[in-house]
Amino acid sequence: MGNTAPYKVLTQTELSELQENTNLSQKQIISLFKRFEALDKDDTGIITYDKLFSIPELAMNPLVLRVIGLFDPKEPDPEKIQFNFTQFIQTLSVFSEKASNEEKIRFAFQSYDVSNSGFIDSDNMKKILKFFVGDCLNEKQISEIIQKTFEEYDKEKNGKISFEDFQKIIDIDDICDKMTILI
């Protein structure tokens, strides 16, 4: 899926190239490389849905399907997701301390924008809820939840939340705090 061939070993040039394109230090990239290799159990240079799912704590996350989906936003089916080391690094780079607030908020927005359409509408909400509950709630119940959420947040009453709207709604510090992890 990626543009580059799988790395067997990181060379210095590759390392500094990755460092320029991401918010990560060389040390962080190297430790992520080790992690990538550990997750890539059959050594193909590509991580798939199955490989990620073997992390029990990730499997316990209610949004596991969305988390996996975010590694390749263009792929609608999370089970078909696969990505190489570059994509892995680029996605995780957003969660670095050095990443800008803009990047983080975009990513948080992206988390809701399942269809990669540029705005959050009821369809996206529905997909998020489906990740949470699968078939355990019926259509009616889901649409009820969505309706309530929109009543609370969609101030322009147009059934869509754009990125600009999203920025107004959210507590920016809080979200950016949340979107920072230890790498």
Partner 1 sequence: MTNLPLTNTQINASLNSKEDKLESLIGHLTRDDKEEIQKTFEDRMPEKLISNLSIKSTNGDFFEAAKFVSEGMQVIVDDQFSRAFKKKNYKPWNFEKYLYPVWILGVLFRYLVLFPLRVLIWVGGFFLIAVIFIIGSLILMKNKQKKLKFQTYMIKSWALLCFVSWSAVVRYHGTIPPKTTNNGKSLVFVANHTTLNDVVLLFRRQPCSIVGQRHSGFVGFLQNYVFAALDPVWFERWETKDRQSAIRKIKNRLNSGNVPLLLFPEGTCVNNEYCVMFKKGAFELDATIIPIAIKYNKLFANAYWNSREQSFLMHTLSLWASWAVIADVYFFPPQNKLPDETSTQFANRVKAMICRKAHLINCNADGYLKHVKLNENFIKHRQSQMANFLKKRFNLKEEENQNENQNQNENEKEKEKEKENIQNNNNNSQSEKNLKNLKNQNVLQNKKKITKSQSEIVLNSKKEK
Smallest distance from the beta carbon of 147 to partner 1, in angstroms? 6
Smallest distance from the beta carbon of 6 to partner 1, in angstroms? 12
Smallest distance from the beta carbon of 159 to partner 1, in angstroms? 14
Of 21 and 54, which has the nearer Cβ to partner 1? 54
First to last CA, the chain: 25
Of 149 and 162, which has the nearer Cβ to partner 1? 149
In angstroms, the CA 149 to CA 175 distance is 18
Smallest distance from the beta carbon of 121 to partner 1, in angstroms? 13
Residue 125 burial (CB count, 10 A): 20
Residue 119's DSSP bridge partners are 162
Residue 99's DSSP bridge partners are none
Smallest distance from the beta carbon of 132 to partner 1, in angstroms? 5
Residue 21 burial (CB count, 10 A): 12
Of 3 and 138, which has the nearer Cβ to partner 1? 138
List residues near partner 1 by CB under 8 A: 8-9, 32, 35, 37-39, 41-43, 52-64, 66-67, 70, 91-92, 95, 107-108, 111-112, 125, 128-129, 132-138, 140-141, 144-145, 147-149, 151-153, 166, 169-171, 174-175, 178-183
With beta carbons less than 8 A apart as the criterion, state whether 61 and 70 touch: no
Residue type, 160: K
Of 3 and 56, which has the nearer Cβ to partner 1? 56
With beta carbons less than 8 A apart as the criterion, state whether 58 and 144 touch: no
Of 123 and 144, which has the nearer Cβ to partner 1? 144
| Structure tokens belonging to residue 135 | 């078939």
